[in-house]
Structure formats: C-alpha cells, structure tokens
Amino acid sequence: MGEVVLDVPARPEYLSLVRQVVAAAAAVQMVRDERIDALRLAVSEATTNAIESYADVGGAASDPRGQRIVVRCNLDVERVEVEVRDRAGGIDADVAETVVDPGDLDDPNQERGRGLPLMRHLADQWEITAGDGGTSVRLVVFTPWGDQPTDD
C-alpha cells in the first residue's frame, strides 16, 4: 500500500491543489477516469466543508496558523481511500444518516446543501467521524481490481 499525505492551510485557494494531488494519486492505481472524476469532486466537497467549518469555530482553532487540513490518500491495488481531516467542528456525524440523493433536493434552485449528497453519491464508500478533535471524512473508490460495493 502506498500513502500520500497532504497538509495544507484551510483556505479556498488550496482546493485546486488538493484535487490535483488526489486525482494524480488515484491515477497511480489505475483507477478509471470516470471514477477519478467522481473522487476529485467528492474530495472537493469534503475539503470545502473542512475549510468552511473553520470559519464557524472559536478558541484555539480560530488561530489562522492552526487552521490546516490533512488529506491522506491510501493507495491499494483494489481501492483508493482518501481521508480529509480538519480540527474544527464541521459536520454533525448524525447528518450522514439523513443525506438525500443529489437529485432529490427539495428545491433544485437552492444555492447550498449539495455537498454531502454529492459525496454520498460519488464515493463507493463514505464515512464521517466527528469528535472534539475535529471531523474526518473518509471516501473510498474501488479500482477495476477491487470488489464492487453492494451498498454504500
């Protein structure tokens, strides 16, 4: 298994770098192009949530120097797993239970609220872990040699 770790400031201008690194890492494992597109988008959503969550917290995490996001890619023959971790209080883990399909939003004209539905739809597996130390979003896509998921 290979591991690629990216530790970046929690600022929007780093989103593009995160997407590029994750997409390039997935390509190392020969993940299909359309799955790389899906992973790139899912990781963008998770990282955006992490960046925005820092804006909502006070205390030590309000110090800009401590506002960082760690993106960890675990590369395996059968799967690519990406963990996006922040030290803010981003997503309520219970929310993950109620996320709808991206095409089933109440109002197709709403401006926000599509991030979690997209993550759920795009990743073969996903998981949110939230605690006092921050939030971790884990996204998995399978390579052509990996097991196909029976559910999410």
Partner 1 sequence: MLMDVQVCALGSWTVVAPIGELDLASVPRLRQEVLAALSSPGGDVLLDLAAVDFVDSVGLGGVVAVAKRVIGAGGRFAIARPEERVWAVFRLVGLDKVFDRFDDLDGAVAGG
Which residue, chain included where needed, has tokens 């959503």? 45
Give the interface with partner 1 as residue ranges (CB under 8 A).
Answer: 12-13, 15-16, 19, 37, 40-41, 44-45, 48, 51-52, 102-103, 105, 108-112, 114-115, 117-118, 121
Nearer CB in complex with partner 1: 109/148 = 109
Residue 114 Cβ vs partner 1, minimum distance, rounded to whole Å: 4
Q: With contact defined as beta carbons under 8 Å apart, do 90 and 130 qualify? A: yes
Residue 17 Cβ vs partner 1, minimum distance, rounded to whole Å: 9
Residue 91 Cβ vs partner 1, minimum distance, rounded to whole Å: 14
41: left (phi over 0), alpha (psi -120 to 50) or beta: alpha
Nearer CB in complex with partner 1: 16/62 = 16
Nearer CB in complex with partner 1: 41/76 = 41
Nearer CB in complex with partner 1: 34/94 = 34
Distance CA 102, CA 142 (A): 21
Q: With contact defined as beta carbons under 8 Å apart, do 128 and 148 qualify? A: no
Residue 34 Cβ vs partner 1, minimum distance, rounded to whole Å: 9
CB-count burial class (<10 Å; 0-12, 13-18, 19+) for 52: middle
